[in-house]
Structure 1
């Protein structure tokens, strides 16, 4: 009976040595996989936060660009008023459409305020032109346009302030 057991002795010894090694290897692999999953989650959260921050930055820049004080500095001084209005409206609309994907990262309220501000600037361009009946020069139009904005509600500043408040909550 001894002879039959002695044939299995090397296998039993190998099994006794291998089992703790396999248990430790399993624990190591399990811990490694858990750490990698946590790392991926952190990177995903960080990336999402960066996207939101970037969206707020881009839309703040858009708001800055559509301020009437910045708009009047665009384009050639030799343009007719209707050409200036057309080019300005086109530039605002194109930049707004270019940034449309940013609404994925903004609150609905922030996006609505931005869209409303854009529409208000365009409406102010047209209203100013309609109010000036006597074919004004471009300089006269720009002056009245700025004055109308200054004398009205500063919706761009309000929108930018809302964006600042929201981004502080996100950070």
Structure 2
């Protein structure tokens, strides 16, 4: 028998090499599968976020409709108090939903901003045209009539949002 001092080490190395190759392949395939899983989750998450953005912006636009605005707050308010509270409410909700612009097109976001601006403008001009002597019920009635006599920009924006959502999905 050959008395070679490195024989046990060579034998151990020959046994370890297949095990190390197997472990390397296992680790690389595991990493590849995890990367695929992360990509799927990222795509799924962004799709869910986009749907959530469409829902939140649609809800904001629905709340922006004058028919929904006139039902808010106490009936005993003066018109100037009502206008102030409505403007504050719209601005706060818009600020809350501003991050949703990341998930919708620039054109649609521009239309959402325009719809908000149009409602606020209509609110202010109605108040200025009526003056301080009107009652809240008169103000609400004239506000609704002015909206119905103008272009329905809120409904148009909701329709555009719906079309964009169908195209994207």
TM-score w.r.t. length of structure 2 = 0.91
Q: Deviations over 1:105-134 (max 9, x none)?
A: 221111111111011001101121233258
Deviation of 1:15 after TM superposition, in Å, equals: 2.8
Moved more, 130-139 or 153-162: 130-139
Q: What is the aligned partner in structure 2 of residue 143 from structure 1?
A: 141
Cα distance change, pair 51–124 in 1 and its aligned pair in 2 (3 A): same
Q: What is the aligned partner in structure 2 of residue 168 from structure 1?
A: 166
Unpaired segments ≥5 residues, structure 2: none
Q: How many residues align?
A: 169
How does 1:100-111 map onto structure 2 within 5 Å?
100-111=98-109
Tell me whether 1:3 sits opposite 2:8 in the alignment.
Answer: no
Moved more, 160-169 or 108-117: 160-169
Q: What is the aligned partner in structure 1 of residue 29 from structure 2?
A: 31
TM-score w.r.t. length of structure 1 = 0.90
> How far apart, in 2, do the equivalents of 1:134 and 1:15 lie?
95
Moved more, 129-138 or 61-70: 129-138
CA RMSD after TM alignment: 1.7
Unpaired segments ≥5 residues, structure 1: none
